[in-house]
Amino acid sequence: MRLLDLNPSSNRCILLSCMVKCIVVFLYVAVASFSAYGEYDHHQRRITETKSLTMRLIHRNAPSSPFRKTYRSQMEAIRDSWEMDSVRLKEFAARLRSSLSRYSFSAGSPVRSGESMNEDAQILWKHAKPLTSAVIAGAFAGSGQYFVSFNIGTPARTFLLIVDTGSDLVWLKCCDRCSSSSPLFNIKKSKTFSPIPCFWPQCSLVPPPAHFSCNRHPAGRCEYDYIYADLSDSSGILAYETVILNSTSNRSTKVKHVVFGCGLKNTGKSLTGSGGVLGLGREPMSFASQLGSKVDSIFSYCFVDFFRSPSEDSYLVFGKSHTGNASFQYTPFLQNPFVPTLYYIGIEHISVNGEVLSIHPRVWRMDAEGNGGAVIDSGTTLTYFLGPAYHRILSAFRRAISYPLVRMNLPTSFDLCFNTSNVSQIELPKLVITFSGNATFEPPSTNYFVEVSNDIKCLSFQQVSSGLGFSVLGNLLQQNFLMRYDRKHEQLGFAPRDCSAG
């Protein structure tokens, strides 16, 4: 739809009309960027401000999930999550390697803050010159575990998107020449779909297709092309759209002018696991960043113990929610300049049954190439530690386990399993992770011991494979904790909570 019709009678009129049009478009965009969030009242038909919204999260294998698989055993379900983790962790490693390759190091380059890094990393970063900048789309959709209902367009269509703290872009599969019965988002059918022009700043944050130059197509649409670690490929356009989010209290929230990636051509195994991704990473294009101060720059989630309660839903909160008697502990977020999307946190030490393990502090610190440290992540299921930490943790649990050990004869398995048959009251070792700021994370044993078959339990930690340079704390370890991402104060809060209570 055109904003203005040009019908000039002279060159001066043409110039004047163009100037007026540019001013109108600029004002339209400026106003839109400051009025992008509000709650839609179905009775009064108006938009009102809101500070909190709670949404239902669906686990990939919950009874209500269209992506649910049938497994012959608990171990088979765990191995499937394990394989998805593998894809995800390879993508993380590829990001780090790719980011390093995009930097050149020379004296006299601008200094950028590296307060969260150790001394060696700070020195190197002072001489790092960025060559390119690209937002991560998070389209390795097959690896996430939790979905949220996402209504987009006018009239709105509903899609299940993976909630992903490890990526930045809101992304879904689209089409521009598809039938009304297509499961894809038809951009021709939405009245509010608006492609972002090639020359707008947002376009510089996505990688362009090969041989595409905005200088040669300044009036064209912003096109992108992502190629992932497993060679999956998504190409499409960047656009604005209107989104409606449904809360657990049956109210709806309308979000205007959401920037999202519209994937028109998607190939590869990693792009078959969902309708798209709701990126909640730290970069400007993420959905959390776009909501920003309208929700106090806070989002939270609470994952139920899925293996024990598969029919129970988890939940996602934007803004400050009613937390009951929850008492939060906080640890600051750290920044890895080579992978700025991810939420890094500092680990001071780990103890098992009160014994503080002898793990060298450098394991938890980032080095000059962005290796080291720990990431809190919603999309990884198990927890992965760097080798020096993993072997210390494994040895401590082996010493503390008094039950008969079992060796699982499987291609992929856990390193510590034991038999608890004929035991009336099972006592398992206590794990405590002390984060920076003296915040102590004390998960229940069900968050790190999983039952793979009758009376057989295994420690659900794994060693980071070669090529990945940091530890990852997965969603299994976070179950029945309210995890609060306070982006305004750059800190992670956590508090024990029965997540099935909502």
Residue positions annotated with a catalytic role: 164, 377
Rg (alpha carbons) of the chain, rounded to whole number:
24
**Residue 240 neighbours by CB under 8 Å, 6+ apart:** 32, 192, 193, 194, 195, 196, 257, 258, 259, 260
Distance CA 88, CA 116 (A): 24
Distance CA 85, CA 112 (A): 32
Give CA torsion, residues 103, 489, 289, 370, to 10 deg.
20
Q: Which amino acid does the sequence have at 221?
A: R
Distance CA 104, CA 127 (A): 8
User: How far apart, in Å, are the Cα atoms of 475 and each of 91, 193, 431, 447?
Assistant: 18, 34, 16, 9
SS3 171: strand
- Please name the helix (run of DSSP H) or strand (run of DSSP E) that holds residue 407, with its range, or none: none
* DSSP collapsed to 3 states, 349-405: EEEECCEECCCCHHHHCCCCCCCCCEEECCCCCCEEECHHHHHHHHHHHHHHCCCCE
Contact 169, 260 (CB under 8 A): yes
Q: Provide the token pair at 207.
A: 């990688």
Secondary structure percentages of the chain, helix, strand, coil, to 5: 20, 30, 45
Distance CA 271, CA 225 (A): 13
Q: Are strands 103-105 and 128-130 parallel, antiparallel or unpaired?
A: antiparallel
Report the first-to-last Cα separation within the chain, whole angstroms: 43
SS3 152: strand
Distance CA 224, CA 29 (A): 22
User: How far apart, in Å, are the Cα atoms of 204 and each of 195, 196, 367, 375?
Assistant: 14, 11, 28, 27
Q: Please list the residues that pair with 483 across neighbouring strands.
A: 301, 494
Distance CA 233, CA 227 (A): 5
Q: Are strands 276-279 and 157-164 parallel, antiparallel or unpaired?
A: parallel
Distance CA 475, CA 379 (A): 7
| DSSP, residue by residue, 278-302 | EE--SSTTSHHHHHGGGGTTEEEEE
